[in-house]
Amino acid sequence: MAAFTAANRGLTVAAAAFLALDGLTLVGAGIWMHQVLLALIGAALVVASGLVVVYWRWHRRQLEEIAEARRALRAEAEALRELIKGT
């Protein structure tokens, strides 16, 4: 599971970095060519790269909550098994 998490983190960082690089390049090209629309599209890509990171962190928190709930359910099931064995 740790290798999967590291790979997931690497892909997320690569995607966000690629979006940010594209966005900054478009912003620079838009400014250089005096094209406002091109600069705005680039700015939208830079914002999107930030949203990728924010959503990834939210997703990680959700996965941690699910894992905690599974652990609690497993402990409860074990307690019920022990209760049934005892009677």
pLDDT in tens, 29-52: 999 999 999 999 999 999 999 999
> Does the pLDDT at position 1 exceed 60?
no
> Does the pLDDT at position 82 exceed 80?
yes
Q: 45, 26 in Cβ contact below 8 A?
A: yes
Which band of pLDDT confidence, cut at 50, 70 and 90, is reported for residue 79? very high
> Does the pLDDT at position 4 exceed 80?
no
- From the list 85, 87, 8, 23, the residue with the least C-alpha distance to 53 is 8
- From the list 22, 2, 18, 24, the residue with the least C-alpha distance to 53 is 18
Alpha-carbon Rg for the chain, nearest whole angstrom, is 23
Q: Using CA atoms, how far apart are residues 83 and 70, in angstroms rounded to an integer?
A: 20
Counting residues of the chain whose pLDDT is more than 70, the rounded percentage is 94
Residue indicated by tokens 């690629």: 18
